[in-house]
Amino acid sequence: MKSYQIAKKFLNKNYFKNKTVLITGADGVLGKMLSEVFLDLGFKLILIDKKIKKFNNKNITTFSIDFTDSKKLEKFLNTKKNLFKDLDFIINNAAYTGSNKNWVKPLNFQTYRDWKLAHKVNLDSTFIISKVLSKFLIKNKGKILNIGSIFSENVPNFFNYKGTKMNSPAAYSISKNTLLHLTKWQASYFAPYVNVNMVSPGGIFRNQDKKFQKKYINTTPMKRMCKEEDVIFTILFLLSDMSNYITGQNISVDGGYSII
């Protein structure tokens, strides 16, 4: 097949029609945008978050689940197995954002409770979901995408946070780094039946402190912050057949931030 024919097939709106995708953290900013785009492309959506509204749409199924309760998450998945029999893709997007203002404080104010909960949401949930649902993905030759961070492979530049009320908690970086190793482990374990990759966004623009924005942009070769669509384009590529020979990789969508 010629290259233009491959591209035409991918860009066809019906390319993903009736594919079933599970998205965790679906009520967050990125999760909502992913859901909107995927619905428009014809996906059948299974959306999970701590709190999420129901939709009057036959192609959308939603569940409210607290990912900090690992036992309840595993029990839920086991009791709903029939729902996942046609599962093609999993996007592990859920992320812990902290229980209180101490989450973004200096290290001596960061709590062990937040450390544990961050690992439960950012890491443990991914392990549990792949453990319970893997047989469906293997049968359907599906794909898993774990949403990481630039801190999956790089430590924060704490200079960027000086003079702001922002910070980068240890639990977030470490849990995302461990998630990267789990991604590689999953890729090796599930091969050749299931592709497993990670997408690691740089700092996504969310109206952050202007001091932070200026410092961050000045240390990014592309001279801007990340946008949700930058991440979504990469996700669509990794879900498509054009990435069938890519597995165990971490794709940094960071405008070159990690190369400096």
Gap between the terminal Cα atoms of the chain: 39
In a domain, 6, yes or no: no
In a domain, 114, yes or no: yes
Q: Which pairing describes strands 143-147 and 60-64: parallel, antiparallel, or unpaired? A: unpaired
Using a pLDDT cut of 90, give the percent of the chain over it: 87
pTM of this prediction exceeds 0.75 = yes
Q: Kindly give, in sequence order, each residue whose CB lies less than 8 Å from that of residue 59, ignoring residues fewer than 6 positions away.
A: 39, 43, 44, 45
User: How far apart (Å, rounded) are the C-alpha atoms in residues 176 and 33?
Assistant: 22
Exposure on the CB side of residue 6, measured as CA atoms within 13 A: 9
Band of the pLDDT at 1, cuts 50, 70, 90? Answer: very low
In a domain, 191, yes or no: yes
Band of the pLDDT at 97, cuts 50, 70, 90? Answer: confident
For 117, the domain range is 12-252
Instruction: Name the strands in the sheet holding 44-49, side by side, starting at the edge strand that comes first in the sequence.
Output: 60-64, 44-49, 20-24, 87-92, 143-147, 195-201, 250-253
Q: Please check whether residue 60 is in contact with residue 39, taking contact to mean a CB–CB distance below 8 angstroms.
A: yes
In a domain, 260, yes or no: no
Q: Please check whether residue 76 is in contact with residue 65, taking contact to mean a CB–CB distance below 8 angstroms.
A: yes
What are the tens digits of pLDDT across the range 46-90?
A: 999 999 999 999 999 999 999 999 999 999 999 999 999 999 999
User: How far apart (Å, rounded) are the C-alpha atoms in residues 212 and 162?
Assistant: 8
The pair of structure tokens assigned to 142 is 């599906």
| C-beta neighbour count of 256 within 10 angstroms | 13
Q: What's the domain count of the chain? A: 1
The pair of structure tokens assigned to 223 is 């001279």
In a domain, 7, yes or no: no
User: Which of these, 176, 189, 193, 155, lies nearest to 250 by C-alpha position?
Assistant: 176
User: How far apart (Å, rounded) are the C-alpha atoms in residues 60 and 45?
Assistant: 5
The CATH number of residue 140's host domain is 3.40.50.720
In a domain, 237, yes or no: yes
What are the tens digits of pLDDT across the range 219-247?
A: 999 999 999 999 999 999 999 999 999 99
At residue 46, what are phi and psi to the nearest 5 degrees?
-115, 110
User: How far apart (Å, rounded) are the C-alpha atoms in residues 241 and 23?
Assistant: 19
In a domain, 186, yes or no: yes
In a domain, 3, yes or no: no
What are the tens digits of pLDDT across the range 98-141?
A: 766 778 888 999 999 999 999 999 999 999 999 999 999 999 99
Per residue, what are the HEC states of 135-195? HHHHHHCCEEEEECCHHHCCCCCHHHHCCCCCCCCHHHHHHHHHHHHHHHHHHHHHCCCCE
Q: Please check whether residue 112 is in contact with residue 119, taking contact to mean a CB–CB distance below 8 angstroms.
A: no
